Structure 1
Amino acid sequence: METRSDTTSGEFIVAGGGIGGIATALALARQGRKVRVLERAAELGEIGYGLQLGPNAYRMLEHMGVADQLKDRAFFPNNLVMIDAIDGRELTRMALGSDFQAKFGYPYSVIHRSDLHQMLLDAVRDMPGVSIETSKGVQGFTQNKDGVEVTCEDGSVYHGTALIGADGLKSRVRAALLDDGAPRVAGQVAYRGVVPMEEITDTTHADDVVLWVGPNLHMVQYRLRGGKVMNNVAVVENDDLRLGRTDTIGPDEMERIFAPCTENVRKNLGYVRKDRNWVLYDRDPKAGWSQGRATLLGDAAHPTLQYMAQGACMALEDAAVLANKITTVPSLDQALLDYEHARYLRTGRIQLTSRFFCGICHAVGGARDVRNSLVESRPKGSTFEIDWLYSGIEL
């Protein structure tokens, strides 16, 4: 059995080498802390496709010293556009140009998950005092007033001053701290795909993030990798998923639910992979992430649906706030509690608002009529729905 000790030098142990875990390592290293990242997979990497980075996330990346690297890897869309998938009419749009950037201080960008992860990884590998180990899934841990002892699946043991659980939706660190069971099945499944821009036949909204909304469905498109490829996401809602059945969910079911949509929306289904899908989960907000020398971060703390496009953004915020609390609060135990208090209500609001926005997107029957009327009546140029989200983030 392998045992390593680093209590005296205050090494922080991060469970999970995804976006949240690597961002945490970077934020702590920039504060002069020693960090050891333990990743379960044999190789570091991100599974998935595109993600959206609002001004709040861009600010966090600037705080971590890596925002400039976005310029060559991300795409900066002109507008956020919502379209009714059944009749094809545009319901509303939000311009993301100079006025938007002046108001919130930072741009809106979209990026491939693996590109963001690699960008953070490149930065953290240049920092002293950071160790990253793969094939080291965290099995469990114990703690006392001085630190933590972390046991991995292979039997190796690590000692550190604190444990940060960034180990995702089915976090083992969360299970030890909160013991609140499995994540909530949201009743939706996503199909995703990335294709070269030359394969896209309808380029009307090629420079936008476009959201088609329909009964029990939505589709999102936006460009990635400097605009060279198009990211496509199709999501359908099905009651069988809520009952724990997945055998009825497949490409045929997706095609059936999208059948009433306009021709161009149906054509877009050809851009998503049919051989793989993602069942969507989240959790109710729950306090208690920070206990003694252990805390949670990102999806381990507050998994959310994608309707606010804030999953990765919240992990980046978590990382920056946590590092600042550890640096400015003399007691480490209190710093972890202060970090949770700073994050709990904001992330909980995002979890619940994402569920609410899901209902708006997937509205059926008369609810769809009401949605369309209300959304079409939005004041032109208004950002009132997300002013709270992109402004006033306290580090």
Structure 2
Amino acid sequence: MRKQLLVAGGGIGGLAAALGASHAGWQVRLYERATAFSEVGAGVQLGPHGVRCLQDWGLEQPLQAVVSLPDRLQVRSALTGRELAALPLGRTAAERYGAAYATIHRADLHDLLLTALTRCTGARLQLGQAVEDFTDTDGAVTLRTNQGEAWQGDALIGADGLWSHTRVRLLGAAPPRVTGHLAYRALVPQSALPDALRTGHVSVWLGPRLHAVQYPVRRGELQNLVLIVQGPAPQDLENWDHAANAAGLEQALQGCCRALQDLVHSVSAAGGPGWRLWPLCDRPPVRSADEMARGLVGLLGDAAHPMPPYLAQGAGMALEDARALQRALGMHALDVPQRLRRYALSRWQRNARVQARSIRNGRIFHATGPLRRGRDLALRLLGERLLDMPWLYRGDGP
């Protein structure tokens, strides 16, 4: 009889975990709090390591139908608009790392995983049910949902995001910590922008106490814009997310170059939903394998290692987690706790390194004074050597 995995969470991490487990020969039952699958519009950067995970699941063709493949990454000063450094992507990245560097609409990545899961596996999807509690006894895990239902399986994976109930129950974890940074996000049709503001590559603008990122998604039809500024967060962090007033963002950009300000103004001029605003939270880097799996219960993605977006690795690490989980669940000579232990041992150090680098990048991106000037000089002198990250793009070792 095939073993059964229970998965909490229907976001990218949960769907990837379910898909990986299905490929390992497990039956899967997935629980999602929402009554319908959906993803808020935003962009995702996928390095070659993340793209390879999707290729390993046979998703290269549907992926190619929806992604953009930027030709370069450039870093610019938010104050002067001057290019500080650049890294070729496109064919160069594919030849160097065996897969492309891709940018994708979050909803497209979510739909790609959901379609693969529903069409190619026997996974059962339980909508409108969130995992509230579980017990791990007598070689089985039993979960209880917010609908009062109870289900039993051979293992449970918590992929229920930053505010994971599974994590709290497993680790007794404190709430995520507030970073003091706010992320403004927008998606704009490129056809609605002047030619000078359209883009086929990834641009990162660095300024004092702020930075911005722009890149194409959905075959280049849309441009994803993210601006992160330092500022106070609201009290109700878990439930707070709303259409943001662009006036606050425009005020934060006073003193930035005209090119960046024109880009921000273009969002309102293009019509559409405009800016949305999120407070950013994270957790300290993972300290041991015990923080990713104990007994019959494991954590994956943001439930295990939430990180600020300064390395653009939230989705990439969740996909890598799912592939590592697949390999571990397929170790049929081991009992289930040992398999989850192997999963955690294979992932915690790499995730911790990416978390630490993301936090460090946040300080560098938002630097002021002498640190900012030193950063800009280093980028001008070293350029590609600073921007390329073989340790990250080559695979999921520590």
Whether these two folds match at TM > 0.5 is yes
Aligned-pair CA distance for 1:394: 4.8
2:251 aligned residue (248, 256, 260): 256
By how many angstroms is 1:250 displaced?
A: 5.7
- Which residue type is aligned with residue 167 of structure 2? R
**Partner Cα distance (2:17, 2:236) in 1:** 34
Distance 1:383 1:158 in 2: 49
SS at 2:73's partner residue?
strand
Q: Is the 8 A contact 2:2 2:25 kept in 1?
A: no
Alpha carbons 2:48, 2:93 under 8 Å: kept = no
Instruction: State the aligned residue count.
Output: 384
* Counterpart selection for 1:359 from 349, 359, 363: 363
The equivalences for 1:1-395 within 5 A come to 9-203=2-196, 206-238=199-231, 240-241=232-233, 251-270=246-265, 271=267, 276-286=276-286, 287=288, 288=290, 289-328=292-331, 330-379=334-383, 381-382=384-385, 385-394=388-397
- Structure 1: tracts of 5 or more residues without a match: 1-7
Indicate the SS of the match to 1:139.
strand
- Is the CA contact 1:216–1:257 (under 8 Å) kept in the aligned structure 2? no
Distance 1:191 1:310, change over 3 A: same
TM-score by length of 2: 0.92
Contact 1:148 1:160 in 2 (8 A): yes
**Percent identity, aligned pairs only?**
36
Gaps of 5+ in 2: none
Secondary structure at 2:51's aligned position in 1?
A: helix
Equivalent pair of 1:185/1:242 in contact (CA under 8 Å): no
Q: 1:244 to 1:39 in 2, by over 3 A?
A: closer
Contact 2:350 2:396 in 1 (8 A): no
Normalising by structure 1, report the TM-score.
Answer: 0.92
Deviation at 1:201, TM superposition (A): 2.1
Task: Report the CA distance shift for 1:361/1:164 in structure 2 as closer, same or farther (over 3 A).
Answer: same
Contact 1:192 1:277 in 2 (8 A): yes
Query: Residues of 1 paired with 2:368 and 2:110: CA distance?
Result: 37
